[in-house]
Amino acid sequence: MAKKPRSRVVDFAVYCAVRLLVCLVQMLSPAAARALARFLAWLAYHVDKRHRLVAKDNIAQAFPGKYTDAEIDALVRGVYRHFCDVLIDIVHLPRKLHVHNWKRHACLVHGERILDAMLSGRPLLIVTGHFGNWEAAGYVLGLVGFRTHAIARPLDNPYVDDFLRRFRERTGQKLLAKHGDFEKMQDILDRGGVIATLADQDAGQRGVFVDFFGRPASTHKAVALMALDQRVPMVVVGAPKLNGRHHIISADVIWPEHFAKSPDAVKVVTQRFTTDLEHLIRLAPEQYFWLHRRWKHQPQPRKRHKSAA
């Protein structure tokens, strides 16, 4: 079935509304912006019943027996507050964060792992997830002089997509289309470049199933395949906000040559970075995006072949 053509008028109207909203938020003082974030979180929690229930179920299964129902509810409210805070933080980043003051707002934890990997002369994959403020991490790396490329899905609205692209690329980070820029990715890695990607999205039945919080989670194979085929090291990074500052934490560096001879190298590497992401999320579970159906697909039971009569 042919895709219905988009209305340029509607797309432009939405773009104007987004620009107006961004301008209004940027006019607010930090205290007023935080109050707005709290109100939006309260509203989203009460209106968005479907995702609220998904988050409660995800947390209950990820931490069996650890939290009471009341504690799970409080954690879900914290998830909404965190991501509304992230939204406001992203809008304010260009005005409050610059090369002379970034240390007041962010810090590198185990920064030597990130810096050594980025200065090694080899290409690098930065692997992260929907945890903390992943946009702030890319922004800070750009501020301190590192040029990275981030894989992202372009938005359907071309005006909003162009605006957000300019916003996200203002410190030097460049965006790559999730589908369609594979040759560019290979060229960047061939030149020793750095690519960042989110690696905690459900990949359907064709993904590789690895353990994530005690449950099989379908995960895209492309990250591990790229690392193994092109011998690209991987650094697993999270960016939670702790004590008022973004902590850009490097969990580990994964060297593909250590797994090249494994009979199931793709799954082993995928499990390795997924486990590292889980360890980071456990530092601040309210800052993970429990609202999405990370465990939507589960392994299919193997079909039994009927024996010949």
Q: Is the pLDDT of residue 284 over 80?
A: yes
Dihedral of the alpha carbons of 133, 201, 221, 213, in degrees to the nearest 10? 90
* pTM of this structure: 0.89
- Res 170: pLDDT: 73
Whether 62 is covered by a domain: the verdict is yes
Whether 39 is covered by a domain: the verdict is yes
Whether 201 is covered by a domain: the verdict is yes
Confidence bin at 171 (pLDDT 50/70/90): low
Name the one residue in this structure whose structure tokens are 């960047």: 188
Whether 75 is covered by a domain: the verdict is yes
Q: What mean pLDDT is predicted for residues 116-120? A: 82
Residues sharing a CB contact under 8 Å with residue 223, sequence separation 6 or more, in sequence order: 125, 127, 197, 199, 234, 270, 273
Number of domains the chain contains: 1
- Cα–Cα dist 233/148, whole Å: 15
Whether 198 is covered by a domain: the verdict is yes
Whether 3 is covered by a domain: the verdict is no
Whether 299 is covered by a domain: the verdict is no
Whether 300 is covered by a domain: the verdict is no
Q: What mean pLDDT is predicted for residues 80-96? A: 88
Q: What mean pLDDT is predicted for residues 240-252? A: 88
CA torsion sign, 249 to 252 to 255 to 259?
negative
Range of the domain at 251: 9-287
Side-chain-side CA neighbours of residue 63 (13 Å)? 17
- Res 124: pLDDT: 93
